[in-house]
Amino acid sequence: MQAEHHQYWVLSDDRAIQTRLSNIEFGVRIHDSFPVVLKTVTSTCIAEQEVKTLRQMAGKPHIVQLLDAFVHEKQHHVLVFPMLERIRLSSVDMKTAAKYMRQLVTALHGLHEAGIVHLDVTASNVMKDAKGDLVLIDLGLASLVHEVRADGRGTRGFLSPEIYYGRPDIDTRCDMYSAGIILGIMLESYLPVCSLACLGGALLTPADTDKTIHQLEMLLEMEKRCSALYQYSTLRIPPVVFDAASLLKSLLANEAGERPTAAEALEHPFLTATEADFAHTEHASYKKFRDVLIRRHRCS
Ligand SMILES: Nc1ncnc2c1ncn2[C@@H]1O[C@H](COP(=O)(O)OP(=O)(O)O)[C@@H](O)[C@H]1O
Ligand SMILES: [Mg+2]
């Protein structure tokens, strides 16, 4: 342990992360050894905006809790958070994917209700706490909805078409598109014929997402046609898989107005599904259904 920061010990280990806008260090709160993360933000303007939004969102579910904020030497702003863990989105099972989506959309609902857009909902800005619940972090770009301009900020691979193309009139639904990209990453192994592997990648363009939407439409259409045959077959793909595909399709819509709001998404069948709906969707038992989807795709 090294370097005392106010009332925290900063652990000088190789976990420290340097990003374009901040420096993340891991440590403990001295008086109770509580594990914390210290985020040093070099831009005063960004730091003050982030602290203001975090204070406004204090106590809202699934939004990171600000434990402390102070100015360190050289006018660097330090924000202190509870230590969280990374989520490996591509390896979660479908039940967990639904839980994480419900929690992410709940976090966005809290922000959007307060008239705030996050603007940087990405795979690295969702983490989990010790109970395994999703926590949305990094409110550094969050803005009031009527002040948002498409100025190229945000993270490639997660940008909604309106931000990507710099269209005017951006509203809270750009966050819903980014949440859709996160859902797509989690569903990749479940929907093998929808080009989900490129979601979140720096080279992703809205044209790629259009292709994914088209493939999701074909998948849903094919399932509708196959459903009449299910009475003769025991290999019925769990219906919740198509609920997941339908939510994904609506979140990725090119036009913001066609995407569900956070409140609407929380009512979607995929996010209200019960434990029983996820039967046979664990990775190991789902493999046979994956093969069915691939075979159907080849025949279409
Ligand atoms: N509370 C936390 N616990 C653990 N790791 C964190 C925490 N906050 C941030 N990180 C790590 O640091 C990275 C950058 O933090 P973030 O707040 O997103 O800063 P930036 O605005 O620079 O992207 C995150 O993607 C995550 O890997
Ligand atoms: Mg970040």
Residue-wise pLDDT for 182-214, tens only, equals 999 999 999 999 999 999 999 999 999 999 999
* Contact of 79 with 32, CB cutoff 8 Å: no
Contact 128, 134 (CB under 8 A): yes
Tell me the CA–centroid distance for residue 118 and ligand 2, in Å.
11
Which two structure tokens, joined as six digits, stand for 24?
């993340």
| pLDDT given for residue 73 in this prediction | 75
Q: Is the pLDDT of residue 263 over 90?
A: yes
Whether the CB of 124 sits within 6 Å of ligand 1: yes
Question: Is it the case that residue 4 has pLDDT exceeding 70?
Answer: no
| Residue scoring higher pLDDT (18 or 268) | 268
pLDDT of residue 1 exceeding 60, the answer is: no
Q: Which of 28, 40, 179, 61 is nearest to 51 (CA)?
A: 40
What's the pTM value of the predicted model, to 2 decimals? 0.95
Residue 17 beta carbon below 6 angstroms from any ligand 1 atom: yes
Over 80: is that where the pLDDT of 299 sits?
A: no
Q: Mean pLDDT across the stretch 226-245?
A: 85
Segment 168-187 mean pLDDT: 96
Which residue has better confidence, 300 or 185?
185
Helical pair 94-113 and 240-251, crossing angle rounded to 10 deg = 40
Separation CA 145–CA 148 (nearest Å) = 6
Q: Whose CA is nearest to atom 9 of ligand 1?
A: 24
Please tell me if the CB atom of residue 21 comes closer than 6 angstroms to any atom of ligand 1. Answer: yes
Q: Using pLDDT thresholds of 50, 70 and 90, give the confidence band for residue 41.
A: very high
Residue pLDDT, tens place only, 150-171: 777 899 999 999 999 998 889 9
* Average pLDDT of the residues of the chain: 93
**Averaged pLDDT, 267-277:** 98
Nearest ligand 1 atom, CA 24: 12
Binned at pLDDT 50, 70 and 90, residue 234 comes out as low
pLDDT band at 11 (very low <50, low <70, confident <90, very high): confident
List pLDDT tens digits, range 61-114: 999 999 999 998 777 899 999 999 999 999 999 999 999 999 999 999 999 999
Kindly state if the Cβ of 137 falls inside 6 Å of ligand 1. Answer: yes
Predicted confidence at residue 148, as pLDDT, reads 86
Domains of the chain: 8-83 (3.30.200.20), 86-299 (1.10.510.10)
The verdict on the CB of residue 54 being under 6 Å from ligand 1 is no
CA distances (Å), origin 236, targets 97, 245, 280: 21, 16, 10
Residues with C-beta atoms within 5 A of ion ligand 2: 125, 138
pLDDT of the residue at 235: 81
Higher-scoring residue by pLDDT: 200, 4: 200
Ligand 2 centroid to residue 39 C-alpha, Å:
11
Find out whether the beta carbon of 218 lies less than 6 Å from any atom of ligand 1. no
